[in-house]
Structure 1
Amino acid sequence: MQYRRFGKTNLRLSVLSLGTMRYLASFENALLTIQKAIASGTNHIETARGYGNSEEYLGAALIAGQIPRNQLYITTKIPPTPDADTMRRYIDESLARLKLDYVDCLGIHGLNTSEHLDWVQAKNGCMQAVQEAKRDRRIKHVGFSTHGSLEVILAALNTDLFEFVNLHYYYFFQRNAPAIQLASQKDMGVFIISPADKGGKLYTPPQILKDLCSPFSPLELNYRFLLSNPQITTLSVGAANPDELLEPIQAANFDGELTSKEIAVFERLESHKNTALSTDKCSQCYACLPCPANINIPEVLRLRNLAVAYDMSDYGQYRYGMFENAGHWFGGMKANKCTECGECLPKCPEKLNIPALLKDTHERLNGKAGRRLWG
């Protein structure tokens, strides 16, 4: 296991962090997963108020001495609140469930909108309670997690209220690269959210993607893409059981620059995508926004890119199903809400027939509605 400095927190974290949203089958399963992660060299566990029984399971293992508190950094996450009193109560409740006097890191969970940003900057908002808890040493370091737009993320970083950020960034989604750059300039820790799952459901890749990535696995390549970037501190591995830690642990043993063989595979992936999509490829410039129908056009077309180029339809359906069902966690309407107003057409530098591509995406990917765990 490799370790990196988590920005200005000066914590030295393992490049893999155990995320606990998916280990909830039972306390026994949670304990075995935690123990396997620790045995591999993982020294950071991330939980959240909204992750089912996650805090309780972790607290039960800690209080029983089944996992070593003095060898771990523990982060929990609490959603932003418009007032300090609610945040005070939430902090007390999380510490009680965790059976802890303090947490190493607290993340404001889901700083996704401009309204959330207003709450954390308000005089009597949630950060007042967070700063009180920090002064009392019940919280050592403060950061935020976000599923918001790049503009919201950059604005949050520029408040200078935070020491680290949890965000989405993967080989198949590089929109937030400027946020990583800014966080690095501010000496903030960078924590990547769920690269196996949100990064493409890469633990169950389609055959065409496996063939294109050979001799590497798609999951391995995504980890290497991320860990080759020294501005990134750690990656969340949301293992549902101990077995799901095996491949990530192997990938975490090497965090150097990309090799010539790895670079060749990434070039092959890009070449195949360009050929498969031809003149229908959305290059993710975001010039088409805002959409009058509130469709997140670039994200819809990103999912289409992946489905057409790499047969990543399972992932596409999983993410597309979140539209209209996950609130601010995954904003925007489904593509069938397009009114064909044509406002996006002159904005697109590639001259894409966006309404036709939106319709095609909906036909390809519309399926079961999705929601957040705590939705």
Structure 2
Amino acid sequence: MQYRRFGRSEIRMPVFSLGGMRYQQSWDDLPLEDVEEENQRNLEAVVRRALELGVNHIETARGYGSSERQLGRILPTLPRDKIVVQTKIAPCADPELFRQHVHESLDRLGLEHIDLLGLHGINTYEAHWHSVRPGGCLEVARQLQAEGKVRHVGFSTHGSLPQILDTLRTDVNGGFDYVNLHWYYIFQNNWPAIEEATRRDIGVFIISPVNKGGMLNSPSDRLVELCGPLHPIVFNCLFCLARPQVHTLSLGAARPSDFDLQMRVPPLLEGAANTLTPIVARLDAAMADAVGPEVAQRYAEGLPDWQSAPGYMNFKTMLWLRNLALAYDLVEYGQMRYNLLGNGGHWFPGLSAAGLGAIPDEAFAKAVKNSPFADQVRGWLEQTHSLLGGAAVQRLSQS
């Protein structure tokens, strides 16, 4: 295993972290007596396999159902100075409730302190304000740090790039020590946030590069072909870790064997550029061939954000998913993400094109007039809905 300095926390972080949202018994907060022994044995086997491989960062969240409680059966049995434990708790309007939730998580985990406390889901400016306002949740987190209950404080986000940048630039109460965010080959929009984190010596943790990075556990034949000779999981993880600004990738293992492909990555890091260059060139060319080189680069240009789009439709996300489906046959992935629109809350905001027919031509034309493809956008959205529309999908934590 390779390790990287996790920003100003100075933690020696493994390049893979064990995410705790796929091995738990339930997304409901079950009491331990309702947890099946077979599931608990599997969870503990996953944790022990991670530690055998040098993956000593264990990450979970209060919102991950029974995850914290189940981890609390094994974490107290491990050498405390050999593991790095992170949990995440959503900021809220009542900072004392946030404080209560931190203490509850400590109790569930069976620990005296948390190495990394993340303010979970700063996806909106409302959550941002609950966090950074005077007397808010960040201030409470720093108080808990002074009490020895928390070592370092960060945040996780699925928000827009401007909102992420504003949160990274927070200076009150010491700001944030690390960030969990999305960035991988098929979604590189957040690179400026990683650059900002680097300038501020903030640790960078990449969320779900396997699942959110294209459902790479079951990749399309087209993606397998384009990523050869690497498996798409290996390619995507190598693509991320080839940037030294990225410190660790979440590995959401459901069983001990789920580490196998990722463990091929560390030996490839030294020659990553030579390995990645031809694969990236093929992937880029496939996108340009599928949608046109100018569309590949500029499809989102001039389009309104979902808040100001007619029908609150998320134009940019829909066209991004269309391009991925056409270039890489990521239809199943596209369907999963597309049908979260209208169902994913602030984790995946805006609506799909289901209501496109109700938007008058004049209003639509006004909304897209700054796009270099203004005459084509409506047809592309219709195509996207035809290709990807279907039954509503819930986030994993809602299902």
TM-score by length of 2: 0.90
| 2:73 maps to 1:50 | no
1:70 paired with 2:62, answer: no
For residues 270 and 124 of structure 2, the distance between their equivalents in structure 1, rounded to whole angstroms, comes to 35
> Are 1:348 and 2:359 an aligned pair?
no
How well do the aligned residues superpose, as a CA RMSD in angstroms?
1.6
1:31 equivalent in structure 2: 44
Tell me how far apart the structure 2 counterparts of residues 304 and 34 of structure 1 sit (CA, whole Å): 38
With over 3 angstroms needed to count, the CA separation of the structure-2 counterparts of 1:146 and 1:284, relative to structure 1, is: farther
The match for 1:327 is: 345
Deviations 1:72-126 (A, max 9, x none): 1000000011121110110011000000110000000000001111111222322
- How far is 1:367 from its partner? 2.3
Q: Report the secondary structure of 1:21's partner residue.
A: coil
Match status 1:20 vs 2:17:
no
The answer as to 2:306 corresponding to 1:283 is no
| Higher mean displacement: 296-305 or 7-16 | 296-305
Give a deviation string over 1:319-372, Cα, whole Å, max 9, x none: 112111111011010122332422343211344611111111111111232223
Alignment pair present for 1:358 and 2:358:
no
Deviates more, 1:338-347 or 1:104-113: 338-347
Structure 1: unaligned runs, 5 residues or longer: none
| 2:32 corresponds to | none
> Aligned partner of 2:15: which letter?
V
- The residue identity in structure 2 corresponding to 1:61 is I
Q: Residue in 2 aligned with 1:10?
A: 10
The equivalent of 2:237 in structure 1 is 223
Which residue identity does 1:312 align to in structure 2? Answer: L
**For residues 177-196 of structure 1, what are the structure 2 equivalents within 5 Å?**
177-196=191-210
Q: 1:22 to 1:352 in 2, by over 3 A?
A: farther
Identity %: 40
* 1:154 aligned partner: 165
| Structure 1 Cα separation of the partners of residues 370 and 386 of structure 2 | 24
Aligned to 2:53, which of 33, 40, 61?
Answer: 40
Higher relative contact order (CA 8 A, sep 6+): 1
Quote the residue 1:304 is aligned against.
322
8 Å contact 1:2–1:254 — kept in the other structure? no
Q: How many residues align?
A: 373
> SS of the residue aligned with 1:4?
strand
Per-residue CA deviation, residues 25-84 of structure 1 (Å, 9 max, x unaligned), is 421111111111111111101000011111111111123x2x433211000000011121
What's the secondary structure of 1:309's corresponding residue? helix
The CA deviation at 1:373 is 3.6
TM-score by length of 1: 0.96
Q: Distance in 2 between matches of 1:209 and 1:352?
A: 30
Partner AA of 2:102 in structure 1: I
Please say if residues 165 and 191 of structure 1, whose CA atoms lie closer than 8 Å, have aligned partners that are also in contact: yes
5+ residue gaps in structure 2?
26-38
Q: Could you say which residue in structure 1 is the equivalent of 2:31?
A: none
Q: Which residue of 1 aligns with 2:335?
A: 317
> What is the 5 A alignment of 1:165-180?
165-180=179-194
SS in 2 for 1:105: strand
Q: Which moved more, 1:310-319 or 1:123-132?
A: 123-132
Shift of 1:225: 0.7
Deviation at 1:254, TM superposition (A): 3.5
Letter in 1 for 2:341: F
Give the CA deviation at 1:286. 4.6
Amino acid at match of 1:370: V
State the SS of the aligned residue for 2:91: coil
In the alignment, structure 1 residue 92 sits paired with structure 2 residue 103: yes
Name whichever of 187-196 and 243-252 sits farther off. Answer: 243-252
- SS of equivalent residue, structure 2 residue 250: strand
Letter in 2 for 1:69: R
Instruction: Letter of the 1:145 partner, please give it.
Output: S
Distance in structure 1 (CA, Å) of the matches to 2:83 and 2:267: 19
Aligned AA for 1:33? V
Choose 12-21 or 67-76, whichever is displaced more.
67-76
Find the aligned partners of 1:260 and 1:352 in 2 and give their Cα distance. 41
The superposition leaves residues 168-212 of structure 1 with CA deviations (integer Å, 9 ceiling, x where unpaired) of: 001000000100000000000000001000111111111111111
In 2, distance between residues paired with 1:169 and 1:373? 19
Does the residue aligned with 1:342 lie in a helix, a strand or coil?
A: helix
CA separation in 2, counterparts of 1:123 and 1:346? 42
1:37 aligned partner, one-letter code: A
Tell me if structure 1 keeps the 8 A contact 2:365–2:374.
Answer: no
Give the secondary structure class of the aligned counterpart of 1:100: coil
Q: Give, in whole Å, the separation in 1 of the partners of 2:365 and 2:271.
A: 44
Contact 2:18 2:57 in 1 (8 A): yes
* Change in 2 beyond 3 A, CA 1:150/1:245: same
Matched, 1:122 2:137: no
Deviation, 1:281, is 4.1
- Structure 1 residues 279-331: Cα deviation after superposition (integer angstroms, max 9, x where no partner): 76463545301313222211111111111111100111111121111110110
The structure 1 residue matched to 2:390, chosen from 350, 367, 370, is 367
Deviation at 1:256, TM superposition (A): 3.3
